[in-house]
Amino acid sequence: MATDITTDRLRELAETRSARGKVLSVFINLDPSVFAAPPARATEISSVIDEASRAVRDRDDLTHDERTALERDIDRVAERLRAGGDTEGARGLAVFASEAAGLFEILKLPRPVAHQVAIADHPCVEPLARIGTGELWWLALVDRRRVRLLTGTTDGLLEVWRQDDETKGQHSDGGWSQSRYQRSVAKEAEDHLRAVASELQRRLRATRIAGLVLGGQKETVKQFKGLLHPDVAKCVQGQFDADVWNSSGDDVLAAARPVLDELTARRDAELLERIDQGLGTGGRAVKGLNDVLLAVHERRIDTLVVQEGFTAKGVCCPQCGWLGVSAGGQCPADGTMTDVVENIVEMAVGRALGQDAGVRYLPVVDTDIESKGSIAALLRF
């Protein structure tokens, strides 16, 4: 399925703050292999809403106004979700609500997510970052008269363009020779492919992608590649066989996955190699939670790399926002008493996204990132 998550939306959420109240973040698992039937989904949604109500009741640090606003937020969430429309086709949901911040948003997720309820001064974006910070790919499917362009990550694709340039060549029965007919059809096919190449060039000016992967019959794809503008051609990273016109987004992703997985692994290896080079020269790279948090505070992060599942307690200065891993005490920057944070990694990810940095999660089996303290970063300076 397509995903509602975009990097821009993640950054907007990461920058959202509520000065006069709290933000409710709710994540709901709707894995179709477990919750396929509507009654099962309804039960799961009710369970998480009840959990959110308990979380509000159990918090002893909320003011009366904050508690009342959160209760209203939960009522809005419950009413909206029980209507059912927001769950259709979703494998998970992320819900953000804050009356004080003017925030109410429900995002469909392309893969299951662990149940979670969070109450804070900002939206909890880390679970979304694990899904929505995958690199953006283009998949262009072409044949001699049709084209489809899909965009997304290995978690889900969204079709953004499709076109059928129906050929108009006449058969020899219409008065043309067979050879002239064949030349006409070939010319129309080439004109179609040239037009597609021109449209991809135009669209590429407005976005940034990890790469372009081409789908279709090998002969047509080969001809198409020869017609691409150099700016587009340098983005081509691979190709795969696929039904150009009738396949679903999930079918296209399944067909392209071996190519995308290989490309993603290669790019992850290159990213870690760049971090190693920066660490080796004392240059623009850091590793380990302490040094990464300092770089986040100084707004030096270019790309943050985190091992899947890595969490750690830490502290945050409520005055200047300094992040650390000490057990409490005063902020070294301004002397303010720090607040304890249960998962400082989540806060670091949110801050990095808000600073327009890239975020990349690597699988638990990646021993290279584990040897760096499970978190590292390329730096801007």
pLDDT tens by residue, 291-317:
999 999 999 999 999 999 899 999 999
Residue 160 shares a structural domain with residue 240: yes
Task: Return the pLDDT at 72.
Answer: 96
Of 51, 45, 136, residue with least CA distance to 93: 45
Q: Residue 105: give its domain's CATH number.
A: 3.30.960
Task: Return the pLDDT at 170.
Answer: 44
- Total structural domains within the chain: 3
Say yes or no to pLDDT of 262 above 70. Answer: yes
- Give yes or no for a contact between 343 and 126, defined as CB atoms under 8 angstroms apart: yes
pLDDT in tens, 18-73: 778 899 999 999 988 888 788 888 899 999 999 999 999 999 999 999 999 999 99
Residue 218 shares a structural domain with residue 316: no
Residue 6 covered by a domain: no
- Domain C-terminal end among 122, 147, 162: 122
- Give yes or no for a contact between 297 and 319, defined as CB atoms under 8 angstroms apart: no
List the domain range (segments joined by +) for residue 306: 284-379
Task: Return the pLDDT at 249.
Answer: 87
SS3 content of the chain, % helix, strand, coil (to 5): 40, 25, 35
Mean pLDDT score across all residues of the chain: 89
What is the Cα–Cα distance from 194 to 323, expressed in whole angstroms?
53
DSSP structure class, residue 170:
P
The string of DSSP codes covering 184-219 is HHHHHHHHHHHHHHHHHHHHHTT---SEEEEES-HH
Which two tokens mark 59? 């918090």
- Give yes or no for a contact between 286 and 372, defined as CB atoms under 8 angstroms apart: no
Which two tokens mark 104? 């109410």
Residue 10 covered by a domain: no
* Radius of gyration for the alpha carbons in the chain, expressed in angstroms and rounded: 25
Say yes or no to pLDDT of 368 above 60. Answer: yes
Residue 231 shares a structural domain with residue 348: no
Residue 304 shares a structural domain with residue 369: yes
Residue 114 shares a structural domain with residue 141: no
- Domain C-terminal end among 233, 266, 299: 266
Say yes or no to pLDDT of 232 above 50. Answer: yes
What is the Cα–Cα distance from 215 to 238, expressed in whole angstroms?
9
Residue 26's Cβ-side half-sphere holds a number of Cα atoms within 13 Å equal to 31
What is the Cα–Cα distance from 307 to 366, expressed in whole angstroms?
8
Residue 111 shares a structural domain with residue 150: no
- Domain C-terminal end among 213, 239, 266: 266
Give the whole-number percent of the chain exceeding pLDDT 70: 93
Containing H/E element for 375?
Answer: strand 375-379
What is the Cα–Cα distance from 31 to 359, expressed in whole angstroms?
25
The string of DSSP codes covering 135-158 is PPEEEEEE-SSEEEEEEEETTEEE
What is the Cα–Cα distance from 322 to 341, expressed in whole angstroms?
12
Say yes or no to pLDDT of 211 above 70. Answer: yes
Calculate the alpha carbon distances from 197 to 188, 202, 230, 363 in Å.
14, 9, 10, 36
Task: Return the pLDDT at 172.
Answer: 45
Which two tokens mark 358? 């890239």
Say yes or no to pLDDT of 75 above 70. Answer: yes
Q: Residue 248: give its domain's CATH number.
A: 3.30.420.60
Residue 38 shares a structural domain with residue 118: yes
Q: What does the buried/exposed string (b/e) look like for 181-210 if buried means 16 or more CB atoms within 10 Å of the residue's CB?
A: beeebeebbeebbeebbebbeebbeeeeeb
Say yes or no to pLDDT of 149 above 70. Answer: yes
Say yes or no to pLDDT of 169 above 70. Answer: no
Task: Return the pLDDT at 185.
Answer: 77
Give the whole-number percent of the chain exceeding pLDDT 90: 60
Task: Return the pLDDT at 88.
Answer: 77
Per-residue pLDDT averaged across 154-165, rounded? Answer: 86
Residue whose entry in the numeric block shows the structure tokens 């292999």: 33
Say yes or no to pLDDT of 178 above 70. Answer: no
Residue 210 shares a structural domain with residue 306: no
Q: Residue 355: give its domain's CATH number.
A: 3.30.1330.30
pLDDT tier for residue 134 given thresholds of 50, 70 and 90:
low
4-8, 95-99, 155-159, 341-345: least confidently modelled range: 4-8
Say yes or no to pLDDT of 377 above 90. Answer: yes
What is the Cα–Cα distance from 215 to 253, expressed in whole angstroms?
11
Higher per-residue pLDDT: 152 or 324:
324
Residue whose entry in the numeric block shows the structure tokens 């991809």: 200
Which two tokens mark 53? 């109500």
Which two tokens mark 212? 């372009």
Residue 340, strand partner residues: 315
Residue 290 shares a structural domain with residue 348: yes
87-101, 131-145, 154-168: least confidently modelled range: 154-168
Contacts for 304 with CB less than 8 Å, ≥ 6 apart: 292, 296, 348, 349, 352, 357, 358, 359, 360, 375, 377
Say yes or no to pLDDT of 348 above 90. Answer: yes
